Structure 1
Amino acid sequence: MSIQFAPSPRSTLGLEWELALVDRESRELSNIASLILPELQANFPTSRFPHFTGELLQNTVELVSAPYRRVSEATADLRELALVAREQARSHGAELIGSGSHPFSRWDQQLVTENERYDRFMEKYRWWGRNMLIWGVHIHIGVDREDRVVPLMHALLSHLPHLLALSASSPFWAGESTGYSSNRTLRFQQLPTAGLPWEVDNWTDVERVLEDLALTGVIAEPTEARWDIRPAPRWGTLEVRFCDGASTLTTIGAIAALTQCLAEYYQQQADQGETLPRLRPWFLRENKWRAARYGLDAHIIVDNSGAQVPLRDDLTALLARLSPIATELGCESELAQVGDLLSDGTSAERQLRNYEQFGGVAAGKQSLVAVVDSLTAEFDSGLN
């Protein structure tokens, strides 16, 4: 299978933000995307890039930015879209939240979006497909050379635990505190085409893997390979897909800045003829699990000798190393907000604090409703 990678300007970025619709009264998920998406799309007609899209379930609206050179430009685009989406949701008695999971709504009460692709998905995956009650943030990073795609993908995978832990926002599932910072991570990788990429060394290997998957009926088209980081040949990007849904626009900016700086840092290393880092797959898998389980409190494996360090310490050192890159890219303030997440806590940590503050298990659903209210407030505060 020959797949042409259409190069795009280096280290540009585009953002995709999946948001959940919740009923204003019950705080349950609200299956009204089919009502509000036509209204949103009428206000923002699709050109090359869609601005608002549906997802597998009708409780979801996805906001899509255009590509930009600066993080601030991409988040400003999302802010404009979010304000319009919130207005439309409220006109139908709903609010928007950004989170990797909903604290208590159940999968069997959700409606599937009707289209050929999702029909095929549900027919194949059945119960596990219906359990994809999850939301994420996807970050597209521009790559200007086909031969850089795979080495850069492996280099970015070595920082999967950093980005995943910072974005972690799914500690609850169907009314239970799971003990995981990102329960979404464990849910999503149940799909056979999801999770860490297959072992590939170059672009020819990517083509060969996708051809094998298509030939054997594993996928119908390349985007059904739902890897944690995957090439997006049509757009000329690497798509970072493993982050949990973001509760605030500020969090998206911080995670996007860290991703953009890492990509540019490694592309500059490649410019100098250096070999980019590639962590062994069994270490990658363990790091992913530790970040999903423990969030920022994880200890991670940082090299192929098996050396381990506290994730918080490694992030602090990483921010210092990337500071000159952030200055070049104009995202100093957004990268500095990663430090705020380290000190103030992630969405998962805040959700758990709110849960306990309002009574935890003893308070039953009341404490979970309080978590939804806190997520609604956080989303709103980020738009003001």
Structure 2
Amino acid sequence: MSLGAFQHSEALSLGVELELQLVNTHDYDLAPYAADMLRLMQKIDLPGTVVPEMTNSMIEVSTGVCQSASQVLTELARIRDALVQCGDKLNIAVAGGGTHPFQQWHERRIYDKPRFQELSTLYGYLSKQFTIFGQHVHIGCPSADAALLMLHRMSRFIPHCIALSASSPFVQAHDTQFDSARLNSVFAFPLSGRAPCVLTWDEFRQYFEKMTRTGVVKSMKDFYWDIRPKPEFGTIEIRVFDTPLSIERAAQLAAFVQSLAAWFLAEQPFAPQEDDYLVYTYNRFQACRFGLDAVYVDPASGEHLPLRDHLLQTFERIAPHAEPLGALPMLQQLKGDVQAGRNDARWLRDVMGREQLLAEVTRQAAQRFRAPQAQA
């Protein structure tokens, strides 16, 4: 199978996908109502799409092509309101978060769709353990070669994305001591992790053709990389975010990606190289394990510094590029949370500390998703 042409997209355009939990309102465990939710949602005129995911207690929603993070928030608000309305009819709730705190993976059922059934046959129990929930952000690129440069520049900031979005401290009713335990499940899949450091589309096409000749890969969907090109959209897709607990945070993360990309396109701040990846897995682990308290190793200098400090430096660096995009207010909200050491993982642990009941943690997370952040 050939790779296909890299389609045109408007540079810095955005698209956001959210994988969401469906939970019953009795004990707040996952509820197998994806088909019912999809049936109701299809009756409502909404931007983007609403589609099934691997198991039948989760769905994926997406925006259309957006020009700004504010537009992302507007579209997600319409989708969120429709989800809440349909969920109320079914006596279920919708929640964010990268993992459900206490669901048991062996109870999950694979959604009846040919690709999901094929993946279940291939990956066995890993398919049910893939009942995890992420946010994907697409960013438009002016050309195929520019997309690969942006991908590898963005890779330096994968730990930042993980720490800002981390919302999966609990797995199978245990505190994992990770802020983002979700990514440990992703790492179990072959062809996960980082993309190969090729910097032109011709080189990437050659790599793709070699992989397809092995029979291991049939399409770009078979790569579970942290960031991957999406040639049919003309974008790169950042895939490391846990699904946030609110759509407001989802829009803020899109603003962060768009502002980074604007900086890359305007200033070409550093030349990507293979050596950038010497510390990639270590930085990724640190962010998953410790969130905003992680240590960050600068790929260029080898300097070790708190990730929180590097995040604050990054906010200052990209602020001039965020302002023309209307993204600065959202960046300032993220900056305030970083300064205070707040992310969704901490919020979930704080609720657990008060309530001592994971069902109540999930109930409050569902309430937070359904209400504007100011009211949450």
Normalised-by-shorter TM-score class = over 0.9
1:178 to 176, 179, 198: 176
Unaligned runs of 5+ in 2: none
- The equivalent residue for 2:286 is 290
1:58-100 superposed Cα distances (whole Å, 9 cap, x missing partner): 1112111011111101111011011101111121110010000
Q: TM-score, normalising length from structure 1?
A: 0.93
SS at match of 1:357: helix
The alignment status of 1:327 with 2:323, answered yes or no, reads yes
In 2, the alpha carbon distance for the partners of 1:17 and 1:62 equals 6
Identical columns (%):
26
Single out whichever of 334-343 and 158-167 deviates more from structure 2.
334-343
| Over 4 Å off, 4+ runs | none
In 1, the alpha carbon distance for the partners of 2:92 and 2:320 equals 43
The alignment status of 1:373 with 2:373, answered yes or no, reads no
1:1-39 superposed Cα distances (whole Å, 9 cap, x missing partner): 453101211111011111100000110000100111022
- The equivalent residue for 2:144 is 146
- Counting only pairs closer than 5 Å after superposition, residues 96-107 of structure 1 correspond to structure 2 as 96-107=94-105
- The equivalent residue for 2:20 is 19
In 1, the alpha carbon distance for the partners of 2:97 and 2:118 equals 26
1:215 to 205, 213, 216: 213
Q: In the alignment, is the contact (CA less than 8 A) between 2:292 and 2:341 conserved in 1?
A: no
- The equivalent residue for 1:259 is 257
Single out whichever of 71-80 and 276-285 deviates more from structure 2.
276-285
In 1, the alpha carbon distance for the partners of 2:146 and 2:363 equals 44
- The equivalent residue for 1:188 is 186
- The equivalent residue for 1:357 is 354
2:337 to 331, 334, 341: 341
The alignment status of 1:247 with 2:248, answered yes or no, reads no
The alignment status of 1:158 with 2:156, answered yes or no, reads yes
SS at match of 2:28: coil
1:193-223 superposed Cα distances (whole Å, 9 cap, x missing partner): 2222123232123222222222222222222
Residue 346 (structure 1) shift: 0.7
In 1, the alpha carbon distance for the partners of 2:245 and 2:65 equals 22
1:115-135 superposed Cα distances (whole Å, 9 cap, x missing partner): 111111111000112211200
Q: In the alignment, is the contact (CA less than 8 A) between 2:54 and 2:131 conserved in 1?
A: no
2:271 to 259, 276, 279: 276
SS at match of 2:93: strand
- The equivalent residue for 2:4 is 3
- The equivalent residue for 1:362 is none
Aligned partner letter, 1:288: R
1:302 to 292, 298, 301: 298
1:256-288 superposed Cα distances (whole Å, 9 cap, x missing partner): 111100011001123xxx643446223111110
Aligned partner letter, 1:107: W
Aligned partner letter, 1:249: I
Residue 356 (structure 1) shift: 1.6
- The equivalent residue for 2:308 is 312
Residue 247 (structure 1) shift: 0.4
- The equivalent residue for 1:364 is none
In 2, the alpha carbon distance for the partners of 1:192 and 1:10 equals 31
- Counting only pairs closer than 5 Å after superposition, residues 28-107 of structure 1 correspond to structure 2 as 28-44=29-45, 50-107=48-105
1:189/1:163 CA distance change after superposition, 3 Å: same
Residue 344 (structure 1) shift: 5.8
In 2, the alpha carbon distance for the partners of 1:314 and 1:230 equals 24
Q: In the alignment, is the contact (CA less than 8 A) between 2:145 and 2:201 conserved in 1?
A: yes
1:322-357 superposed Cα distances (whole Å, 9 cap, x missing partner): 111111111111111111321261110111111122
In 1, the alpha carbon distance for the partners of 2:55 and 2:287 equals 27
Q: In the alignment, is the contact (CA less than 8 A) between 1:41 and 1:51 conserved in 2?
A: no
In 2, the alpha carbon distance for the partners of 1:171 and 1:275 equals 34
In 1, the alpha carbon distance for the partners of 2:19 and 2:199 equals 31
Unaligned runs of 5+ in 1: 360-366
In 2, the alpha carbon distance for the partners of 1:313 and 1:228 equals 23
Single out whichever of 222-231 and 258-267 deviates more from structure 2.
222-231
1:157-205 superposed Cα distances (whole Å, 9 cap, x missing partner): 0000001100000001000000101000111111002222123232123
Residue 50 (structure 1) shift: 4.3
SS at match of 2:177: coil
- Counting only pairs closer than 5 Å after superposition, residues 109-120 of structure 1 correspond to structure 2 as 109-120=107-118
In 2, the alpha carbon distance for the partners of 1:222 and 1:317 equals 34
Aligned length: 371
